[in-house]
Amino acid sequence: MKCLPIGLTAYWLVAFFFSIGAEGKPLTSQELVVSKPQSITSITLASLDQNEKPWENIPAFEERPYVYLGPSALELATGSAPKTRPEITDRLKEMGDRFFPQIQQQLKISEVEFETWPTLDDWGLVTWNISRYRKNESDEWKWLDASLWNKPDGDSDPTEPVFTKVLDPRLPEDFDKLFNNIPAGLYDRPIFGAAVWTTKDGKQAYGGWLDSSDLATAGTDLKNSGLLAHIVFPPARFNGKPKSFVVQVTSGAVIWPGEISWTSEVKRRLSSQKYSPIFTKWPHDFEPRYLEHVQRASGEIPVHTPSGKVIDFRKMGSGQPDHHIVEYLEYLKTEHYEKKIKSKIPGLSIELDHFMWQKIPEANLIVKIPGTLPRDKNRPIIFVDHVDKAIAEDHYAKTNEKITTGGADDNGTATAAELMASEIYAERYLEKPPAHDIWLFHITGEEYPGSSLGARHQVGRMLKQGQMITGVIDMDMLGHHPEHSKRFQINPGPTAGSWKIAQAILNASQIHAARWTPIVRLPYSRKGYDTQTDGEVFRLVGYDHVTSNEDKGLNHRRGDKNYHELGDESSLLDIPYASDHVKTLIEAAAELAGWR
Ligand SMILES: [Zn+2]
């Protein structure tokens, strides 16, 4: 959109954009700086969120995806009926009953109101975003930062509320935090998308939660605008609209808005079931073939690309402007799927979906094995890997240079799993096709600084199309285990459908991974690994899913000798262990796809 001229006509245009947003999209940075601010006392912060369909442009985890308090993004995209009251779990009520009185005490005000909404903490757990407070309705709202919060000692629940932070784009350090899409630190990410823009005194707001797809332009527009960024994670969503609550605290007691419907979390269980497998025989060379796929993915075996180049796929960071991810996907498309698989699966769809991210070309490879069911009854089961690699921490610490790891485990083991799945399925397809589609997604940009950019792009596409599915099996690191351990883990999401997928994996593991021990992790467990994977992107919009991986949790992933280091090579993998896990997942997906 062109920059609007300043003048009376422009004022009306701007006012129009401000009130409803252009086509339900947030203001651009150019529109924002010429728009008319509003006093933050007269509005809710939620009203500043102009994004009508945020699920079509999913923010990175660091900018916080939306929390849905009624219909999920998927339900909204597929036209489910609205709910009458916002639903919030008892867990959040219990947390709020602790958090709000504690802050009231620190404020030393006997009666206080907070503007608040559910958001996610750094671990992906739901918590309260507490952005502002006032004494009562006739008082002015004041911003609330973390300075009043005393970390509780020895609390069994480590979840804490989230407060507002202020950044000044004129300060180089703050500018970097807002707009630098390839920051110096390996795990930093700009948080422009979580900013609410205000006057210097914080009393007038211009808008918030802008589209962060062009940070360079936004940085130029806002650097010297004189505006401040209040970092506030985006409001919750109820029936598709931004939603915040005003919670009152009177002498230590919380008065919750009557509209909230408190719900309890469903406890789900898996059982040991008798299971007769679909696949009773595997190719004798399954393991060496699997290993070879891993070694090509990790750059240990160079590859002749369709364009005649020989490449070892070692430059595999989505933030490296000259990365080889697209060439790797072209190689998979042509040399694997088109040459080896397509002739055996009539109707196989192979799409290299190109897109741009912060001016860098990116792509996902989307492969669809067609089932026999008609479209309206067909619910695909989807495998997800990520083909990009992490920046090597050990090399960076020594040289300050950002090169990617070979990524044999993270995540060559998963890419190779999908390639094996396509080979196994191709053999069976000739006899009989599955009922539901089985889709194989090779996804870019899971690692920093992309932060699941490929998964966010693909999930946005699926929601735009209102795509219903059976569920997702996300794989991330399948090949390591400590010597004394035989475990691998299954991380289902909280939905019933997610646990159905977990049950299918558990059943299949009894046959195909009998020498190993599957561990089912509860949703959001720090011992598990679902938060900050591509699986989480599917979960947060409402898709059923499981992330399946080696026995590594969010809480102990650092300090692993080869995790995100140059040493992530295939020689350190336990190939029989990974292969049995892969066979288990191939079986489970076939079962879920009705391939009997
Ligand atoms: Zn990974």
- Ligand 1 centroid–CA 446 distance in Å is 7
- Ligand 1 centroid–CA 414 distance in Å is 9
Is 478 inside any structural domain? Answer: yes
Q: Can you list the alpha helix ranges (DSSP code H) found in 405-533?
A: 413-431, 453-464, 496-512
- Ligand 1 centroid–CA 409 distance in Å is 8
Along the 596 residues of the chain, how does pLDDT read in single tens digits? 333 333 333 333 333 334 444 456 778 899 988 889 999 988 999 999 988 888 888 988 989 989 999 999 999 999 999 999 999 999 999 999 999 999 999 999 999 999 999 999 888 889 999 999 999 999 999 999 999 887 766 555 678 999 999 999 999 999 999 999 888 888 888 999 999 999 999 999 999 999 888 899 999 999 999 999 999 999 999 999 999 999 999 988 999 999 999 999 888 999 988 999 999 999 999 999 999 999 999 999 999 887 888 989 999 999 999 999 999 999 999 999 999 999 999 999 999 999 999 889 999 999 999 999 999 999 999 999 999 999 999 999 999 999 999 999 999 999 999 999 999 999 999 999 999 999 999 999 999 999 999 999 999 999 999 999 999 999 999 999 888 889 999 999 999 999 999 999 999 999 999 999 999 998 888 788 888 899 999 999 999 999 999 988 877 655 566 899 999 999 999 999 999 999 999 999 999 999 99
Q: Which two tokens stand for residue 344?
A: 């055996």
- Ligand 1 centroid–CA 540 distance in Å is 18
Is 267 inside any structural domain? Answer: no
Q: How many CA atoms are closer than 13 Å to the CA of 253, on its beta-carbon side?
A: 2
- Ligand 1 centroid–CA 476 distance in Å is 5
| Domain limits for position 543 | 302-592
Q: Please count the structural domains in the chain.
A: 2
Give residue for tokens 């190779």. Answer: 416
- Ligand 1 centroid–CA 413 distance in Å is 10
- Same domain membership, residue 401 and residue 532: yes
- Ligand 1 centroid–CA 242 distance in Å is 32
Is 269 inside any structural domain? Answer: no
- Ligand 1 centroid–CA 203 distance in Å is 42
| DSSP letters for 113-181 | EEEEEEEE-TTS-EEEEEEEEESSTTSPPEE--GGGPPPPSS-S-----B--EEE-TTSHHHHHHHH-S
Pick from 486, 572, 563: nearest CA to 529: 563
- Ligand 1 centroid–CA 119 distance in Å is 24
- Which of 259, 290, 320 is the last residue before a domain boundary? 259
- Ligand 1 centroid–CA 347 distance in Å is 31
| DSSP letters for 20-71 | H-BTTBPPPHHHHHHSPPEETTSS-GGGG---S-GGGSPPPGGG-PPPBSSS
- Ligand 1 centroid–CA 382 distance in Å is 17
- Same domain membership, residue 328 and residue 186: no
Is 282 inside any structural domain? Answer: no
- Ligand 1 centroid–CA 478 distance in Å is 10
Around ion ligand 1, which residues have CB less than 5 A away? 410-411, 476
d(CA 461, CA 543): 13
- Same domain membership, residue 329 and residue 232: no
Note the pTM of the prediction, 2 decimals. Answer: 0.92
Q: Which two tokens stand for residue 354?
A: 């190109």
- Ligand 1 centroid–CA 333 distance in Å is 21
- Ligand 1 centroid–CA 406 distance in Å is 12
- Ligand 1 centroid–CA 477 distance in Å is 6
Is 73 inside any structural domain? Answer: yes
- Which of 229, 259, 289 is the last residue before a domain boundary? 259
Q: Can you list the alpha helix ranges (DSSP code H) found in 347-412?
A: 393-399
- Same domain membership, residue 318 and residue 236: no
- Ligand 1 centroid–CA 55 distance in Å is 23
- Which of 241, 259, 277 is the last residue before a domain boundary? 259
Is 4 inside any structural domain? Answer: no
